[in-house]
Structure 1
Amino acid sequence: MSVTSFPLTTDMLLADVIAGDGEAIGRLAGLNPVFAVLLEPEHKNAMAGQIRLGEAARIAEVPFDILCAVLQGRLSAAGIGRPDASGHAGPAAGAPVGDWFEQALSQSAPHLDVRPLLASGQDPFAHVMSTAARVPPGGFMVVDAPFDPAPLRRVLAGKGFTSLGRQLGAGHWRICWRREEPAGLDDAAQPPVPEPRRGPEPWQAADGTHLDVRGLQPPEPMTRVLDLIDAGTAECLVLHHDREPVFLFPMLAERGWSCLSVEHLEGEVRVTLAREEW
């Protein structure tokens, strides 16, 4: 079965379009093998459900009409001409660029290469989001990827990041993210202080629901967080933990939640989580 029953537009979600088409992933992988990693259910890639058709065409490095023809089985990926590697994707309109890559290098900004992770079938989303949460205002983060990660750029844009991308070669993009300075901050604001242990029952505060899982043995911290989120009673969750819960982030993404910040304080790691608004 191929996708032929409805017209395709750039803003459609790829996962919705190929649902029920058992051969679609194979056809897409003929354009770019990374689709097999992104879309295979067994890999549980956190961003797979957010890829739009226009973004899929950019990942495949083909015009949108070519992508549609391959999706619909009207055209084989074999023999399609590939563009050269001179393209680039810039930041949001009006955003200052400057020498971002040079600034990131001079600041020893974190630099992640997610290509080996994707090649081995691993999802790099949690690693990227964990690193992004530690980037200070005005700071940078650089990621090397096998394609322009438009869904990830969109997610991080919602968290105050502007991005600049450069295609360095076939299957090699480098994206530089800059966390914008928040407006209207009080310079005299005091840094957060560690929270006294409250026990495992959640409580409400002005900034949302709080949950203290310090001292609990795995997998109880993860279970308590997921149970609270699945109950549907919280929109923002401040988690007080003994360590950074990197294995929790992909499960949160599957539920429409993301990490807003990670603060390493004396005696606790404070993680602020929020439900995404799409």
Structure 2
Amino acid sequence: MKSSMINAKTRISELIKANPLVIDSLVELNPNFSKLRNPILRSLLARRVSISDACAIAGCKFSDFMDKMTLIGFTTDREVDLSVAKDHGNITAANTTGGFKVVELDVRPVIASGSDPLELILKSSKSLKDNECLKIINTFEPVPLINLLSKQGFRSWSERAEKDLVYTWFVKDEVNHVIPKHPTAKDNLLFNGSEFERMLDFFGPPRTRTIDVTGLEMPQPMISILENLSRLGKDEALFVYHKKLPVNLLPELEERGFKYFIKNCPDGKVNMLICKV
């Protein structure tokens, strides 16, 4: 394997792709990493979790993680240790339920079925009333979800009840409640009508690739879209026929630096146009 430079922000999926010894080495380091041997959990977590996030989830030291990766051939950049717990506006155990009505969501059956619970979680968080908090039940601390919802104005707190049982509470910030942002081209949000058509005309047929994922079962639509985007030229756009708004795909597009434009269709389906920023 060619030596690869990694740092705290490197995604676990990149490590696994670069070196097949990664999973076994991490399980040897900390048994909590055995979740990566589960193909469903690996698919959900690896592409979203960085090394620093993984250390927080598994409860291991950043330095120990990097030492293990060095042993199997990686070159490590340790200048910035991001494994220190981030402040997500944490709330204490005493006030997670005090004054709040708990809306409980157990995502373990969803994950066990092979589905991604992100869309369900986001729907639940958006429907919360001011006097309610969302309690997520999972087998691990959902660090990527915590990071995502913190950007949307949520505070959180996690409790490991048992070895494979973690409760995570989310409440809206007391001052800055979650208010949907008004769509603007600059903010990379959703568009209908003229803006979508304007971008479609801008790229035109010669620079637009088209795929139809309406007949695919989860999680194949996301996989197909991301694979096609990896082959997209600098001045090209990807036109996607989708059966619904792919809520769990949107954060991935933003993280990878893509802009997306979405047009709702009369039959409930959506058309997407995705391009590189």
SS in structure 2 opposite 1:25?
A: helix
Amino acid at match of 2:137: D
Give distance in 2, aligned partners of 1:184 and 1:136.
Answer: 11
Task: Please tell me whether residue 203 in structure 1 is matched to residue 193 in structure 2.
Answer: yes
Look up the match of 1:150. 143
Look up the match of 1:63. 61
- How much has 1:252 moved relative to structure 2? 3.6
Aligned match of 2:158 in 160, 165, 170?
165
Look up the match of 1:179. 172
Give distance in 2, aligned partners of 1:175 and 1:44.
Answer: 20
Q: Is the 8 A contact 1:137 1:182 kept in 2?
A: no
Give distance in 2, aligned partners of 1:176 and 1:151.
Answer: 14
Look up the match of 2:264. none
Look up the match of 1:53. 51
TM-score, length of structure 2 as denominator length:
0.55
Q: Is the 8 A contact 1:164 1:177 kept in 2?
A: yes
Q: Mark the CA change 1:114 to 1:28 in structure 2 (over 3 Å): closer, same or farther.
A: farther
- How much has 1:61 moved relative to structure 2? 2.3
Q: Mark the CA change 1:204 to 1:140 in structure 2 (over 3 Å): closer, same or farther.
A: farther
Look up the match of 2:12. 14
Give distance in 2, aligned partners of 1:123 and 1:184.
Answer: 23
SS in structure 2 opposite 1:249?
A: coil
Amino acid at match of 1:35: L
Q: 1:70-99 CA deviation, whole Å, 9 max, x = no partner?
A: 43456xxxxxxxxxxxxxx79635x66451
Give distance in 2, aligned partners of 1:152 and 1:6.
Answer: 28
Q: Mark the CA change 1:232 to 1:12 in structure 2 (over 3 Å): closer, same or farther.
A: same
Give distance in 2, aligned partners of 1:24 and 1:64.
Answer: 15
Q: Is the 8 A contact 1:45 1:123 kept in 2?
A: no
Q: Is the 8 A contact 1:14 1:49 kept in 2?
A: yes
- How much has 1:23 moved relative to structure 2? 2.6
Look up the match of 2:22. 24
* Higher relative contact order (Cα pairs below 8 Å, separated by 6+ residues): 1
Amino acid at match of 1:152: L
- How much has 1:135 moved relative to structure 2? 1.8
SS in structure 1 opposite 2:128?
A: coil
SS in structure 2 opposite 1:126?
A: helix
Q: Mark the CA change 1:256 to 1:121 in structure 2 (over 3 Å): closer, same or farther.
A: same
Which structure's residues are more often helix, by fraction? Answer: 2
Give distance in 1, aligned partners of 2:113 and 2:37.
Answer: 11
In the TM superposition, what are the counterparts of 1:14-163 in structure 2 within 5 Å? 14-29=12-27, 31-32=31-32, 33-37=34-38, 40=39, 45-73=43-71, 92-93=88-89, 97=92, 99-104=95-100, 106=101, 108-109=102-103, 111-137=104-130, 139-163=132-156
Q: Is the 8 A contact 1:126 1:249 kept in 2?
A: yes
Give distance in 2, aligned partners of 1:138 and 1:232.
Answer: 43
Unaligned runs of 5+ in 1: 75-88, 186-200, 210-217, 234-240, 258-268
Aligned match of 1:255 in 237, 253, 256?
253
- The alignment yields a C-alpha RMSD, in angstroms, of 4.8
What is the percent sequence identity of the aligned residues? 17
TM-score, length of structure 1 as denominator length:
0.54
Amino acid at match of 2:193: W
- How much has 1:169 moved relative to structure 2? 1.8
Give distance in 1, aligned partners of 2:177 and 2:251.
Answer: 28
- How much has 1:184 moved relative to structure 2? 12
Give distance in 2, aligned partners of 1:44 and 1:171.
Answer: 16
SS in structure 1 opposite 2:8?
A: coil
SS in structure 2 opposite 1:112?
A: strand
- How much has 1:115 moved relative to structure 2? 2.8
Count of equivalent residues: 205
Unaligned runs of 5+ in 2: 73-84, 180-190, 200-213, 256-267
Q: Mark the CA change 1:96 to 1:152 in structure 2 (over 3 Å): closer, same or farther.
A: closer
Give distance in 1, aligned partners of 2:178 and 2:148.
Answer: 23
Q: Mark the CA change 1:183 to 1:135 in structure 2 (over 3 Å): closer, same or farther.
A: closer
Q: Is the 8 A contact 2:35 2:41 kept in 1?
A: no
- How much has 1:51 moved relative to structure 2? 1.0
SS in structure 1 opposite 2:47?
A: helix
- How much has 1:143 moved relative to structure 2? 0.5
